Structure 1
Amino acid sequence: MILVTGATGNVGRHVVGELLCADVKVRALTRDPATARLPGEVEVARTGEMPLDGVTSMFLNPAVFWNGLGDLLDRARDHGVRRVVMLSSSAALDDDPRNVIGAHHLEFERAIEASGLEWTFVRPGEFATNALAWADTIRAGEPVREPYARARTTPIHERDIAAVAARALLSDGLVGAKPVLSGPEALTYPEMVEIIGAAAGIPARFEEISPERAREEMLRRPYMREAIVDALLRVRAEAVDRAPEISPEVERITGRPARTFAEWAADHF
Protein backbone atom coordinates (compact mmCIF):
# COMPACT_ATOMS: atom_id res chain seq x y z
CA MET A 1 0.00 0.00 0.00
CA ILE A 2 1.14 3.54 -0.77
CA LEU A 3 0.39 6.38 1.63
CA VAL A 4 -0.29 9.82 0.12
CA THR A 5 -0.13 12.82 2.43
CA GLY A 6 -1.83 16.03 1.35
CA ALA A 7 -4.04 13.79 -0.79
CA THR A 8 -6.62 16.46 -1.59
CA GLY A 9 -4.05 19.10 -2.55
CA ASN A 10 -3.20 20.26 -6.05
CA VAL A 11 -0.53 17.59 -6.51
CA GLY A 12 -1.61 14.92 -4.05
CA ARG A 13 -5.01 14.37 -5.65
CA HIS A 14 -3.31 13.64 -8.98
CA VAL A 15 -0.76 11.35 -7.32
CA VAL A 16 -3.72 9.34 -6.01
CA GLY A 17 -5.16 9.20 -9.52
CA GLU A 18 -1.86 8.05 -11.05
CA LEU A 19 -1.52 5.28 -8.47
CA LEU A 20 -5.08 4.08 -8.99
CA CYS A 21 -4.42 3.85 -12.73
CA ALA A 22 -1.51 1.55 -11.86
CA ASP A 23 -3.90 -0.63 -9.82
CA VAL A 24 -2.12 0.09 -6.54
CA LYS A 25 -3.78 0.24 -3.13
CA VAL A 26 -3.80 3.80 -1.81
CA ARG A 27 -4.30 5.25 1.65
CA ALA A 28 -4.98 8.97 1.35
CA LEU A 29 -4.49 11.34 4.26
CA THR A 30 -6.50 14.53 4.55
CA ARG A 31 -7.53 16.91 7.29
CA ASP A 32 -11.22 16.15 6.73
CA PRO A 33 -12.05 12.72 5.26
CA ALA A 34 -15.73 13.64 5.07
CA THR A 35 -15.06 16.27 2.41
CA ALA A 36 -12.17 14.55 0.59
CA ARG A 37 -14.22 13.58 -2.52
CA LEU A 38 -11.75 10.83 -3.45
CA PRO A 39 -12.62 7.68 -5.44
CA GLY A 40 -14.39 4.95 -3.48
CA GLU A 41 -11.54 2.47 -3.77
CA VAL A 42 -9.21 4.81 -1.86
CA GLU A 43 -8.80 4.26 1.87
CA VAL A 44 -9.14 7.72 3.41
CA ALA A 45 -7.75 8.59 6.84
CA ARG A 46 -7.23 11.73 8.89
CA THR A 47 -3.79 13.34 8.65
CA GLY A 48 -3.38 13.64 12.40
CA GLU A 49 -3.83 9.90 12.85
CA MET A 50 -1.06 8.98 10.35
CA PRO A 51 -1.84 5.23 10.12
CA LEU A 52 1.22 3.40 8.75
CA ASP A 53 0.23 -0.25 9.05
CA GLY A 54 0.70 -2.07 5.74
CA VAL A 55 2.36 0.93 4.05
CA THR A 56 5.43 0.22 1.91
CA SER A 57 5.95 3.64 0.30
CA MET A 58 4.93 7.20 1.14
CA PHE A 59 4.37 10.40 -0.81
CA LEU A 60 5.28 13.18 1.58
CA ASN A 61 4.10 16.75 1.10
CA PRO A 62 6.10 18.94 3.51
CA ALA A 63 3.37 21.57 3.55
CA VAL A 64 1.43 19.17 5.77
CA PHE A 65 4.32 19.12 8.26
CA TRP A 66 5.33 22.77 8.42
CA ASN A 67 6.22 22.41 12.12
CA GLY A 68 8.52 19.45 11.47
CA LEU A 69 8.40 15.72 10.86
CA GLY A 70 8.63 14.75 14.52
CA ASP A 71 9.05 10.97 14.82
CA LEU A 72 7.36 10.22 11.49
CA LEU A 73 10.44 8.75 9.80
CA ASP A 74 11.25 6.53 12.79
CA ARG A 75 7.67 5.32 12.90
CA ALA A 76 7.65 4.73 9.17
CA ARG A 77 10.80 2.60 9.35
CA ASP A 78 9.43 0.64 12.33
CA HIS A 79 6.22 -0.10 10.37
CA GLY A 80 8.12 -1.44 7.36
CA VAL A 81 7.91 1.58 5.07
CA ARG A 82 10.78 1.33 2.59
CA ARG A 83 10.52 4.44 0.44
CA VAL A 84 9.68 8.13 0.78
CA VAL A 85 9.03 10.33 -2.25
CA MET A 86 8.96 13.95 -1.13
CA LEU A 87 7.46 16.91 -2.92
CA SER A 88 10.43 19.23 -2.52
CA SER A 89 11.19 22.43 -4.43
CA SER A 90 13.77 23.79 -6.83
CA ALA A 91 14.29 26.42 -4.11
CA ALA A 92 16.38 23.74 -2.39
CA LEU A 93 19.08 24.53 -4.98
CA ASP A 94 19.43 28.02 -3.49
CA ASP A 95 21.88 28.03 -0.58
CA ASP A 96 21.09 31.63 0.36
CA PRO A 97 20.04 31.48 4.05
CA ARG A 98 17.44 34.17 3.39
CA ASN A 99 15.50 31.70 1.26
CA VAL A 100 13.36 30.14 3.98
CA ILE A 101 11.45 28.11 1.39
CA GLY A 102 14.62 26.38 0.23
CA ALA A 103 15.87 25.96 3.80
CA HIS A 104 12.59 24.33 4.86
CA HIS A 105 12.75 21.77 2.06
CA LEU A 106 16.45 21.09 2.57
CA GLU A 107 15.85 20.40 6.25
CA PHE A 108 13.31 17.74 5.34
CA GLU A 109 15.48 16.29 2.57
CA ARG A 110 18.44 15.88 4.92
CA ALA A 111 16.29 14.21 7.57
CA ILE A 112 14.99 11.72 5.02
CA GLU A 113 18.48 11.04 3.66
CA ALA A 114 19.64 10.26 7.21
CA SER A 115 16.67 7.98 7.95
CA GLY A 116 17.96 4.94 6.08
CA LEU A 117 14.84 4.84 3.90
CA GLU A 118 14.93 4.86 0.11
CA TRP A 119 14.11 8.32 -1.15
CA THR A 120 13.40 10.54 -4.13
CA PHE A 121 13.07 14.32 -3.93
CA VAL A 122 10.89 15.82 -6.65
CA ARG A 123 11.94 19.46 -7.08
CA PRO A 124 9.47 21.49 -9.17
CA GLY A 125 9.81 25.19 -9.80
CA GLU A 126 6.83 27.53 -9.87
CA PHE A 127 3.47 25.76 -9.89
CA ALA A 128 1.12 26.85 -12.65
CA THR A 129 -1.64 26.61 -10.03
CA ASN A 130 -0.27 29.74 -8.36
CA ALA A 131 -2.05 31.60 -11.16
CA LEU A 132 -5.41 30.51 -9.74
CA ALA A 133 -4.97 33.41 -7.33
CA TRP A 134 -5.74 35.68 -10.30
CA ALA A 135 -8.99 33.93 -11.29
CA ASP A 136 -11.49 36.18 -9.52
CA THR A 137 -9.62 39.31 -10.61
CA ILE A 138 -9.62 38.28 -14.27
CA ARG A 139 -13.26 37.21 -14.24
CA ALA A 140 -14.19 40.55 -12.65
CA GLY A 141 -12.51 42.40 -15.52
CA GLU A 142 -9.85 43.89 -13.25
CA PRO A 143 -6.14 43.93 -14.10
CA VAL A 144 -3.82 41.41 -12.48
CA ARG A 145 -1.36 43.45 -10.45
CA GLU A 146 2.11 42.03 -9.79
CA PRO A 147 5.68 43.37 -9.59
CA TYR A 148 8.57 42.61 -11.94
CA ALA A 149 6.70 42.34 -15.22
CA ARG A 150 9.88 41.31 -17.07
CA ALA A 151 10.67 38.39 -14.76
CA ARG A 152 10.40 35.00 -16.47
CA THR A 153 9.34 31.72 -14.92
CA THR A 154 8.66 28.18 -16.14
CA PRO A 155 5.26 27.25 -14.65
CA ILE A 156 4.66 23.51 -14.37
CA HIS A 157 1.32 21.71 -14.50
CA GLU A 158 0.51 19.89 -11.27
CA ARG A 159 -0.35 16.76 -13.26
CA ASP A 160 3.25 16.57 -14.49
CA ILE A 161 4.59 16.81 -10.94
CA ALA A 162 2.23 14.03 -9.88
CA ALA A 163 3.21 11.84 -12.83
CA VAL A 164 6.89 12.05 -11.89
CA ALA A 165 6.14 11.40 -8.21
CA ALA A 166 4.05 8.34 -9.10
CA ARG A 167 6.86 6.87 -11.15
CA ALA A 168 9.23 7.37 -8.24
CA LEU A 169 6.80 5.51 -6.00
CA LEU A 170 6.13 2.68 -8.43
CA SER A 171 9.58 1.89 -9.84
CA ASP A 172 13.20 1.85 -8.71
CA GLY A 173 14.66 4.07 -11.42
CA LEU A 174 14.46 7.29 -9.40
CA VAL A 175 15.70 6.04 -6.03
CA GLY A 176 18.29 8.52 -4.78
CA ALA A 177 17.38 11.08 -7.46
CA LYS A 178 16.53 14.77 -7.08
CA PRO A 179 14.91 15.66 -10.42
CA VAL A 180 14.33 19.38 -10.95
CA LEU A 181 11.08 19.90 -12.85
CA SER A 182 9.78 22.78 -14.94
CA GLY A 183 7.22 23.52 -17.55
CA PRO A 184 8.33 23.51 -21.21
CA GLU A 185 8.47 27.29 -21.72
CA ALA A 186 9.62 30.49 -20.07
CA LEU A 187 6.89 33.08 -19.60
CA THR A 188 6.42 36.48 -18.00
CA TYR A 189 3.38 37.16 -15.85
CA PRO A 190 1.84 39.43 -18.52
CA GLU A 191 2.15 36.56 -20.99
CA MET A 192 0.56 34.15 -18.51
CA VAL A 193 -2.34 36.54 -17.92
CA GLU A 194 -2.89 36.83 -21.68
CA ILE A 195 -2.94 33.03 -22.02
CA ILE A 196 -5.49 32.71 -19.23
CA GLY A 197 -7.68 35.34 -20.85
CA ALA A 198 -7.60 33.41 -24.12
CA ALA A 199 -8.53 30.17 -22.35
CA ALA A 200 -11.37 31.85 -20.45
CA GLY A 201 -12.59 33.72 -23.53
CA ILE A 202 -12.49 37.07 -21.75
CA PRO A 203 -10.15 40.10 -21.85
CA ALA A 204 -7.34 39.87 -19.31
CA ARG A 205 -4.98 42.69 -18.41
CA PHE A 206 -1.76 43.02 -16.45
CA GLU A 207 -0.60 46.03 -14.45
CA GLU A 208 2.86 46.24 -12.94
CA ILE A 209 3.07 47.45 -9.35
CA SER A 210 6.02 48.24 -7.12
CA PRO A 211 7.66 45.51 -5.02
CA GLU A 212 6.75 47.52 -1.91
CA ARG A 213 3.05 47.51 -2.75
CA ALA A 214 3.20 43.83 -3.70
CA ARG A 215 4.80 43.01 -0.35
CA GLU A 216 2.04 44.78 1.55
CA GLU A 217 -0.66 42.93 -0.39
CA MET A 218 1.04 39.54 -0.04
CA LEU A 219 1.34 39.94 3.72
CA ARG A 220 -2.44 40.32 3.96
CA ARG A 221 -2.92 36.79 2.62
CA PRO A 222 -3.45 33.91 5.06
CA TYR A 223 -0.35 31.93 6.04
CA MET A 224 2.04 34.40 4.41
CA ARG A 225 4.97 35.17 6.70
CA GLU A 226 7.39 38.04 6.13
CA ALA A 227 10.33 35.72 5.47
CA ILE A 228 8.39 33.81 2.83
CA VAL A 229 7.17 36.97 1.10
CA ASP A 230 10.67 38.45 1.06
CA ALA A 231 12.11 35.24 -0.38
CA LEU A 232 9.50 35.13 -3.14
CA LEU A 233 10.08 38.75 -4.10
CA ARG A 234 13.85 38.31 -4.12
CA VAL A 235 13.63 35.31 -6.44
CA ARG A 236 11.28 37.20 -8.76
CA ALA A 237 13.58 40.23 -8.84
CA GLU A 238 16.52 38.01 -9.79
CA ALA A 239 14.48 36.57 -12.68
CA VAL A 240 14.03 39.93 -14.45
CA ASP A 241 15.41 39.79 -18.01
CA ARG A 242 16.92 36.35 -17.36
CA ALA A 243 16.20 33.21 -19.35
CA PRO A 244 15.40 30.45 -16.83
CA GLU A 245 16.60 26.93 -17.44
CA ILE A 246 13.95 24.61 -18.87
CA SER A 247 14.25 21.12 -17.45
CA PRO A 248 13.86 18.05 -19.69
CA GLU A 249 13.09 15.81 -16.72
CA VAL A 250 9.32 15.53 -17.09
CA GLU A 251 9.67 14.16 -20.61
CA ARG A 252 12.66 11.98 -19.71
CA ILE A 253 10.87 10.38 -16.78
CA THR A 254 7.30 10.14 -18.08
CA GLY A 255 8.03 9.64 -21.78
CA ARG A 256 5.90 12.57 -22.91
CA PRO A 257 6.44 16.34 -23.12
CA ALA A 258 5.59 18.54 -20.17
CA ARG A 259 2.21 20.26 -20.51
CA THR A 260 2.24 23.90 -21.62
CA PHE A 261 0.78 26.75 -19.62
CA ALA A 262 -1.94 27.05 -22.27
CA GLU A 263 -2.91 23.45 -21.57
CA TRP A 264 -2.99 24.21 -17.86
CA ALA A 265 -5.16 27.29 -18.45
CA ALA A 266 -7.57 25.27 -20.60
CA ASP A 267 -7.89 22.75 -17.75
CA HIS A 268 -8.74 25.40 -15.16
CA PHE A 269 -10.56 28.29 -16.90
Structure 2
Amino acid sequence: MILVTGANGNVGRNLVRELINAGEKVRALTRDPATTSLPDSVEIVCGDLTRPETLPAALQDVDRAFLFPVFGALEGFLASAEEVGTRHIVLLSSDSVTFSQPGWIGERHLACEQAVAASGMSWTFVRPTVFMANDLGWTHQIRHGGTVRGVYGSAAMAPVDERDIAAVAAHALLTPQPGTAYELTGPQALSQIDRVRIIGETLGLSTRFEEVPRDDVRRGLLDHLPPPAADFLLDQLAAAQTEPTPVLPTIEQVTGHPARNYAEWVAHHATNFGG
Protein backbone atom coordinates (compact mmCIF):
# COMPACT_ATOMS: atom_id res chain seq x y z
CA MET A 1 0.00 0.00 0.00
CA ILE A 2 1.23 3.49 -0.92
CA LEU A 3 0.01 6.52 1.02
CA VAL A 4 -0.13 9.90 -0.72
CA THR A 5 -0.34 12.94 1.52
CA GLY A 6 -1.42 16.24 0.03
CA ALA A 7 -3.54 14.18 -2.34
CA ASN A 8 -5.66 17.16 -3.40
CA GLY A 9 -2.61 19.23 -4.37
CA ASN A 10 -1.10 19.97 -7.77
CA VAL A 11 1.41 17.11 -7.44
CA GLY A 12 -0.61 14.79 -5.22
CA ARG A 13 -3.62 14.32 -7.45
CA ASN A 14 -1.41 13.63 -10.47
CA LEU A 15 0.71 11.23 -8.45
CA VAL A 16 -2.36 9.27 -7.37
CA ARG A 17 -3.30 8.75 -11.02
CA GLU A 18 0.26 7.71 -11.93
CA LEU A 19 0.23 5.06 -9.20
CA ILE A 20 -3.24 3.78 -10.04
CA ASN A 21 -2.22 3.45 -13.69
CA ALA A 22 0.78 1.42 -12.52
CA GLY A 23 -1.56 -1.01 -10.75
CA GLU A 24 -0.70 0.02 -7.18
CA LYS A 25 -3.01 0.09 -4.17
CA VAL A 26 -3.23 3.75 -3.16
CA ARG A 27 -4.50 5.45 -0.03
CA ALA A 28 -5.00 9.23 -0.19
CA LEU A 29 -4.74 11.38 2.93
CA THR A 30 -6.84 14.54 2.90
CA ARG A 31 -8.27 16.92 5.47
CA ASP A 32 -11.63 17.02 3.68
CA PRO A 33 -12.63 13.81 1.86
CA ALA A 34 -15.88 15.43 0.70
CA THR A 35 -13.98 17.77 -1.62
CA THR A 36 -11.72 15.09 -3.10
CA SER A 37 -12.12 14.04 -6.72
CA LEU A 38 -9.93 10.99 -7.28
CA PRO A 39 -10.37 7.62 -9.05
CA ASP A 40 -12.89 5.29 -7.41
CA SER A 41 -10.20 2.68 -6.71
CA VAL A 42 -8.38 5.07 -4.32
CA GLU A 43 -8.94 4.57 -0.60
CA ILE A 44 -9.57 8.04 0.81
CA VAL A 45 -8.89 8.67 4.49
CA CYS A 46 -9.35 11.78 6.60
CA GLY A 47 -6.17 13.05 8.25
CA ASP A 48 -3.98 16.07 8.81
CA LEU A 49 -0.20 16.23 9.14
CA THR A 50 -0.62 18.91 11.80
CA ARG A 51 -2.78 16.54 13.89
CA PRO A 52 -0.56 13.52 14.65
CA GLU A 53 -3.42 11.64 16.33
CA THR A 54 -5.08 11.23 12.90
CA LEU A 55 -2.07 9.53 11.31
CA PRO A 56 -1.55 6.03 12.82
CA ALA A 57 -4.77 4.67 11.30
CA ALA A 58 -3.96 6.20 7.91
CA LEU A 59 -0.51 4.57 7.94
CA GLN A 60 -1.62 1.03 8.75
CA ASP A 61 -0.23 -1.44 6.16
CA VAL A 62 1.57 1.38 4.30
CA ASP A 63 5.03 0.37 3.11
CA ARG A 64 5.78 3.47 0.99
CA ALA A 65 4.59 7.04 1.37
CA PHE A 66 4.70 10.36 -0.46
CA LEU A 67 5.17 13.15 2.05
CA PHE A 68 4.04 16.71 1.45
CA PRO A 69 6.34 19.19 3.25
CA VAL A 70 4.25 20.81 5.96
CA PHE A 71 6.89 22.92 7.68
CA GLY A 72 7.42 22.01 11.32
CA ALA A 73 4.80 19.25 11.30
CA LEU A 74 6.51 16.09 10.01
CA GLU A 75 7.75 14.52 13.23
CA GLY A 76 4.41 12.94 14.16
CA PHE A 77 3.99 11.44 10.71
CA LEU A 78 7.53 10.06 10.66
CA ALA A 79 7.21 8.54 14.13
CA SER A 80 3.94 6.81 13.19
CA ALA A 81 5.33 5.64 9.84
CA GLU A 82 8.38 4.08 11.47
CA GLU A 83 6.22 2.42 14.12
CA VAL A 84 3.95 0.68 11.59
CA GLY A 85 6.89 -0.46 9.44
CA THR A 86 6.79 1.95 6.51
CA ARG A 87 9.95 1.29 4.49
CA HIS A 88 10.41 4.26 2.17
CA ILE A 89 9.50 7.95 2.18
CA VAL A 90 9.46 10.16 -0.91
CA LEU A 91 9.57 13.79 0.23
CA LEU A 92 8.49 16.70 -1.95
CA SER A 93 11.25 19.24 -1.35
CA SER A 94 12.63 22.20 -3.34
CA ASP A 95 15.67 23.05 -5.41
CA SER A 96 16.20 25.99 -3.02
CA VAL A 97 17.93 23.58 -0.60
CA THR A 98 20.86 23.52 -3.06
CA PHE A 99 21.32 27.30 -3.13
CA SER A 100 24.41 28.79 -1.51
CA GLN A 101 21.93 30.91 0.47
CA PRO A 102 18.77 28.78 0.80
CA GLY A 103 16.80 31.63 2.35
CA TRP A 104 13.61 31.33 4.38
CA ILE A 105 11.98 28.76 2.09
CA GLY A 106 15.10 26.69 1.48
CA GLU A 107 15.91 26.50 5.17
CA ARG A 108 12.48 25.10 5.94
CA HIS A 109 12.73 22.52 3.20
CA LEU A 110 16.17 21.59 4.52
CA ALA A 111 14.65 21.04 7.96
CA CYS A 112 12.07 18.70 6.39
CA GLU A 113 14.80 16.76 4.57
CA GLN A 114 16.84 16.48 7.75
CA ALA A 115 13.84 15.17 9.70
CA VAL A 116 13.17 12.48 7.07
CA ALA A 117 16.85 11.51 6.85
CA ALA A 118 17.01 11.17 10.65
CA SER A 119 13.88 9.01 10.83
CA GLY A 120 15.65 5.72 10.15
CA MET A 121 13.55 4.97 7.07
CA SER A 122 14.97 5.01 3.55
CA TRP A 123 14.16 8.13 1.56
CA THR A 124 14.14 9.91 -1.78
CA PHE A 125 13.95 13.70 -2.13
CA VAL A 126 12.21 15.29 -5.12
CA ARG A 127 13.48 18.87 -5.57
CA PRO A 128 11.60 20.79 -8.26
CA THR A 129 12.25 24.38 -9.22
CA VAL A 130 9.26 26.72 -9.49
CA PHE A 131 6.00 25.09 -10.56
CA MET A 132 4.30 26.07 -13.80
CA ALA A 133 1.15 25.81 -11.68
CA ASN A 134 2.22 28.96 -9.82
CA ASP A 135 1.22 30.87 -12.94
CA LEU A 136 -2.40 29.92 -12.33
CA GLY A 137 -2.20 32.95 -10.06
CA TRP A 138 -2.40 35.00 -13.27
CA THR A 139 -5.77 33.60 -14.36
CA HIS A 140 -7.87 36.48 -13.00
CA GLN A 141 -5.73 39.10 -14.74
CA ILE A 142 -5.72 37.20 -18.03
CA ARG A 143 -9.47 36.68 -17.92
CA HIS A 144 -10.02 40.37 -17.15
CA GLY A 145 -8.05 42.32 -19.72
CA GLY A 146 -5.07 40.08 -20.43
CA THR A 147 -2.46 42.22 -18.65
CA VAL A 148 -0.32 40.45 -16.06
CA ARG A 149 1.28 42.89 -13.63
CA GLY A 150 4.46 41.87 -11.88
CA VAL A 151 8.08 42.67 -11.14
CA TYR A 152 11.31 41.54 -12.81
CA GLY A 153 9.55 40.48 -15.99
CA SER A 154 12.85 39.51 -17.66
CA ALA A 155 13.73 37.03 -14.90
CA ALA A 156 14.29 33.69 -16.67
CA MET A 157 13.40 30.56 -14.70
CA ALA A 158 12.77 26.99 -15.86
CA PRO A 159 9.32 26.18 -14.45
CA VAL A 160 8.29 22.54 -14.28
CA ASP A 161 4.93 20.91 -15.04
CA GLU A 162 3.30 19.39 -11.94
CA ARG A 163 2.56 16.23 -13.96
CA ASP A 164 6.29 15.71 -14.50
CA ILE A 165 6.99 16.18 -10.79
CA ALA A 166 4.36 13.53 -10.08
CA ALA A 167 5.90 11.17 -12.65
CA VAL A 168 9.30 11.41 -10.96
CA ALA A 169 7.72 10.92 -7.54
CA ALA A 170 5.89 7.84 -8.85
CA HIS A 171 9.17 6.41 -10.13
CA ALA A 172 10.75 7.01 -6.73
CA LEU A 173 7.89 5.13 -5.04
CA LEU A 174 7.71 2.27 -7.53
CA THR A 175 11.46 1.65 -7.81
CA PRO A 176 12.98 3.16 -4.66
CA GLN A 177 16.64 4.17 -4.79
CA PRO A 178 17.39 5.08 -1.18
CA GLY A 179 19.41 8.22 -0.62
CA THR A 180 18.65 9.75 -4.04
CA ALA A 181 17.73 13.40 -4.59
CA TYR A 182 16.18 14.36 -7.93
CA GLU A 183 16.54 18.01 -8.97
CA LEU A 184 13.87 18.92 -11.53
CA THR A 185 13.40 21.75 -14.01
CA GLY A 186 11.30 22.31 -17.05
CA PRO A 187 12.85 22.12 -20.54
CA GLN A 188 13.30 25.89 -21.05
CA ALA A 189 14.40 28.95 -19.11
CA LEU A 190 11.56 31.40 -19.75
CA SER A 191 11.03 34.92 -18.49
CA GLN A 192 7.68 36.01 -17.12
CA ILE A 193 7.32 38.09 -20.28
CA ASP A 194 7.87 34.93 -22.36
CA ARG A 195 5.34 32.95 -20.36
CA VAL A 196 2.61 35.57 -20.61
CA ARG A 197 3.24 35.73 -24.37
CA ILE A 198 3.04 31.93 -24.71
CA ILE A 199 -0.27 31.86 -22.84
CA GLY A 200 -1.69 34.31 -25.36
CA GLU A 201 -0.25 32.53 -28.40
CA THR A 202 -1.36 29.09 -27.22
CA LEU A 203 -4.92 30.09 -26.36
CA GLY A 204 -5.51 32.82 -28.93
CA LEU A 205 -5.77 35.54 -26.31
CA SER A 206 -4.41 39.07 -26.16
CA THR A 207 -1.88 39.10 -23.31
CA ARG A 208 1.00 41.25 -22.14
CA PHE A 209 3.25 41.69 -19.11
CA GLU A 210 3.34 45.03 -17.33
CA GLU A 211 6.18 45.89 -14.96
CA VAL A 212 5.14 47.37 -11.59
CA PRO A 213 7.18 48.38 -8.52
CA ARG A 214 8.58 45.65 -6.30
CA ASP A 215 6.81 47.04 -3.25
CA ASP A 216 3.43 46.66 -4.95
CA VAL A 217 4.10 42.97 -5.66
CA ARG A 218 5.46 42.44 -2.17
CA ARG A 219 2.27 43.80 -0.60
CA GLY A 220 0.27 41.28 -2.59
CA LEU A 221 2.52 38.39 -1.56
CA LEU A 222 2.14 39.35 2.11
CA ASP A 223 -1.54 38.42 1.88
CA HIS A 224 -0.53 34.75 1.99
CA LEU A 225 3.19 34.60 2.84
CA PRO A 226 5.32 35.74 5.81
CA PRO A 227 7.65 38.65 4.98
CA PRO A 228 10.86 36.52 4.82
CA ALA A 229 9.23 34.17 2.30
CA ALA A 230 7.99 37.05 0.14
CA ASP A 231 11.44 38.65 0.16
CA PHE A 232 13.10 35.35 -0.74
CA LEU A 233 10.84 34.86 -3.77
CA LEU A 234 11.40 38.42 -4.97
CA ASP A 235 15.16 38.17 -4.49
CA GLN A 236 15.14 34.90 -6.45
CA LEU A 237 13.38 36.65 -9.33
CA ALA A 238 15.78 39.58 -9.20
CA ALA A 239 18.79 37.23 -9.43
CA ALA A 240 17.24 35.36 -12.39
CA GLN A 241 17.37 38.54 -14.47
CA THR A 242 21.10 38.01 -14.96
CA GLU A 243 21.45 34.32 -14.05
CA PRO A 244 18.71 32.22 -15.68
CA THR A 245 17.82 28.94 -14.02
CA PRO A 246 19.95 26.13 -15.54
CA VAL A 247 17.91 23.52 -17.41
CA LEU A 248 18.43 19.95 -16.17
CA PRO A 249 17.69 16.67 -18.00
CA THR A 250 16.51 14.81 -14.88
CA ILE A 251 12.87 14.34 -15.86
CA GLU A 252 13.68 12.62 -19.15
CA GLN A 253 16.44 10.57 -17.52
CA VAL A 254 14.08 9.29 -14.83
CA THR A 255 10.80 8.91 -16.70
CA GLY A 256 11.97 8.24 -20.25
CA HIS A 257 9.92 11.09 -21.70
CA PRO A 258 10.94 14.72 -22.24
CA ALA A 259 9.81 17.29 -19.73
CA ARG A 260 6.59 18.97 -20.86
CA ASN A 261 7.08 22.46 -22.23
CA TYR A 262 5.21 25.55 -21.12
CA ALA A 263 2.84 25.65 -24.09
CA GLU A 264 1.76 22.06 -23.32
CA TRP A 265 1.06 23.06 -19.73
CA VAL A 266 -0.95 26.08 -20.86
CA ALA A 267 -3.05 23.94 -23.21
CA HIS A 268 -3.73 21.52 -20.33
CA HIS A 269 -5.04 24.44 -18.25
CA ALA A 270 -6.86 26.25 -21.06
CA THR A 271 -10.14 26.42 -19.18
CA ASN A 272 -8.44 28.03 -16.19
CA PHE A 273 -7.19 30.89 -18.36
CA GLY A 274 -10.45 31.28 -20.28
CA GLY A 275 -9.11 29.87 -23.52
Q: TM-score band (shorter)? A: over 0.9
Q: Is residue 145 of structure 2 the alignment partner of residue 138 of structure 1? A: no
Matches within 5 A, 1:102-117: 102-117=106-121
Asked if the contact 1:139–1:202 (Cα under 8 Å) also holds between the matched residues in 2, the reply is: no
Equivalent residue number for residue 238 of structure 1: 239
| 1:138-197 C-alpha deviation (Å, 9 max, x unpaired) | 11114101111221000100000000000000003x321111100000100011001111
| 1:228-256 C-alpha deviation (Å, 9 max, x unpaired) | 10010111111113232101100000011
Q: Is residue 89 of structure 2 the alignment partner of residue 84 of structure 1? A: yes
**Any idea what SS the aligned residue of 2:59 has?**
coil
**Any idea what SS the aligned residue of 1:180 has?**
strand
| 1:215-236 C-alpha deviation (Å, 9 max, x unpaired) | 112213xx31111100101111
Within 2, Cα distance between the matches of 1:192 and 1:78? Answer: 46
> Alignment identity in percent?
45
Matches within 5 A, 1:44-63: 44-48=44-48, 49-50=54-55, 51-62=58-69
Within 2, Cα distance between the matches of 1:251 and 1:94? Answer: 23
Letter in 1 for 2:181: K
Bigger Cα displacement from structure 2, 124-133 vs 40-49: 40-49
Equivalent residue number for residue 43 of structure 1: 43
Within 2, Cα distance between the matches of 1:182 and 1:263? Answer: 15
Over 3 Å counting, the alpha-carbon distance change for 1:67 and 1:243 in structure 2 is: closer
Moved >3 Å (runs of 4+) = none
Residue among 180, 184, 192 paired with 1:189: 192
Within 1, Cα distance between the matches of 2:184 and 2:47? Answer: 27
> CA offset at residue 19 of structure 1?
0.3
Equivalent residue number for residue 209 of structure 1: 212
Letter in 2 for 1:79: V
| 1:3-62 C-alpha deviation (Å, 9 max, x unpaired) | 000001000001100000111000001111011011111000112322110000000011
Q: Is residue 73 of structure 2 the alignment partner of residue 68 of structure 1? A: yes
List runs of 5+ in structure 2 lacking aligned partners: 49-53, 271-275
Bigger Cα displacement from structure 2, 75-84 vs 40-49: 40-49
Equivalent residue number for residue 127 of structure 1: 131
Q: C-alpha root-mean-square deviation of aligned residues, in Å? A: 1.1
> CA offset at residue 95 of structure 1?
4.2
Within 2, Cα distance between the matches of 1:74 and 1:106? Answer: 19
Equivalent residue number for residue 23 of structure 2: 23
List runs of 5+ in structure 1 lacking aligned partners: none
Asked if the contact 1:95–1:102 (Cα under 8 Å) also holds between the matched residues in 2, the reply is: no
Within 1, Cα distance between the matches of 2:36 and 2:76? Answer: 26
Asked if the contact 1:219–1:225 (Cα under 8 Å) also holds between the matched residues in 2, the reply is: yes
Could you state the TM-score of these two structures normalised by the residue count of structure 2? 0.93
Asked if the contact 2:146–2:205 (Cα under 8 Å) also holds between the matched residues in 1, the reply is: no
**Any idea what SS the aligned residue of 1:179 has?**
strand
